[in-house]
């Protein structure tokens, strides 16, 4: 069997997340159906992670196995004809047989977008916050994330993960234009709902409702109930997944 990595993007607005769900359509399900139609057999697809309902990806990676050699450019073109308009495949690469889209990823990067004014063309992809935010204080709090590894306080409760340990290497708010700020966070792995919980809690810091020391204490308490409300999903994007070069076969 030959293993392939699929690099794809999707608008998550109408999906119940990446993972196949019993009661709603998912990105993974659509991709498997398209592959099955093209290759004329059932194809299992494994993603680099799970994005929540309504969350987007400008770059997601998944892998699948197939018994015959495929021409990557041809497969990408055929899949794009079969996939709905809000999912697109832009690259397929051959990888070594043991390569794994989830377990071999060394870094993942997310971006979260916040706006301070009404703008009709990005309403589906931004979180509009009416109150004024202190982004200097939010960045001071965000820097403390790099000092810790246990992020139980920002994890969805009752998940099936064995550990809540993550290594965050970058967490920063930057201004994109007059009304838009973006939070970029990079780590070796993320917990369910982690980025949205962090953003929601940092916004409490920016509103003056939570101090930087208070944010630090929330991390140390390892209690999801102590953190802020999760930010809305529609403003969150998975933007990159990085792998070691030695897993690729081409």
Backbone φ, ψ for residue 233 (5° rounding) = -75, -25
- Let me know: does 185 contact 176? Beta carbons within 8 Å: no
The Cα-based distances of 202 to 34, 65, 142, 167, 224 in angstroms read 39, 41, 7, 18, 14
Is 52 annotated as catalytic? yes
Q: How many CA atoms lie within 13 A of 126 on its CB side?
A: 18
- Let me know: does 51 contact 17? Beta carbons within 8 Å: yes
- Let me know: does 169 contact 240? Beta carbons within 8 Å: no
- Let me know: does 215 contact 36? Beta carbons within 8 Å: no
DSSP classification of residue 165: B
- Let me know: does 249 contact 94? Beta carbons within 8 Å: yes
Q: What DSSP assignment string belongs to 86-150?
A: TEEEEEEEEE-TT--TTTT--EEEEEEEEESS--GGGTTT-EE--S---HHHHHHHHHHGGG--B
Q: Does the annotation place 110 within a ligand binding site?
A: yes
Kindly give, in sequence order, each residue whose CB lies less than 8 Å from that of residue 123, ignoring residues fewer than 6 positions away. Answer: none
- Let me know: does 241 contact 105? Beta carbons within 8 Å: yes
Catalytic residue among 11, 42, 52, 136: 52
Which residue positions form the known binding site? 110
Which residue positions form the known binding site for substrate? 110
Catalytic residues, by residue number, are 52
């Amino acid at each position: 069997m030959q293993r392939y990595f699929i690099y794809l993007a999707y608008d998550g607005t109408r999906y119940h997340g990446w993972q196949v769900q019993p009661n709603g359509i998912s990105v993974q399900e659509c991709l498997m159906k398209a592959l099955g139609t093209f290759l004329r057999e059932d194809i299992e697809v494994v993603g680099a992670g799970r994005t929540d309902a309504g969350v987007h990806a400008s770059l997601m990676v998944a892998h699948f196995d197939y018994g015959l050699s495929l021409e990557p450019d041809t497969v990408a073109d055929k899949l794009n004809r079969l996939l709905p308009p809000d999912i697109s495949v832009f690259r397929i690469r051959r990888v070594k047989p043991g390569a794994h889209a989830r377990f071999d990823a060394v870094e993942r990067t997310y971006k979260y977008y916040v706006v301070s004014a009404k703008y009709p063309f990005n309403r589906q992809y931004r979180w509009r916050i009416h109150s004024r935010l202190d982004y200097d204080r939010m960045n001071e709090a965000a820097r403390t994330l790099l000092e810790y590894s246990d992020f139980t306080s920002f994890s969805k409760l009752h998940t099936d993960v064995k550990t809540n340990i993550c290594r965050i290497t970058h967490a920063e708010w930057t201004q994109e234009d007059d009304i838009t700020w973006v939070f970029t966070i990079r780590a070796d792995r993320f917990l369910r709902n982690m980025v949205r919980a962090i953003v929601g809690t940092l916004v409490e810091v920016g509103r003056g409702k939570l101090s930087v020391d208070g944010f630090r204490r929330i991390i140390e308490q390892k209690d999801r109930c102590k953190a802020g409300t999760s930010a809305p999903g529609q403003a969150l994007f998975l933007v990159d997944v990085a792998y070691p070069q030695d897993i690729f076969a081409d």
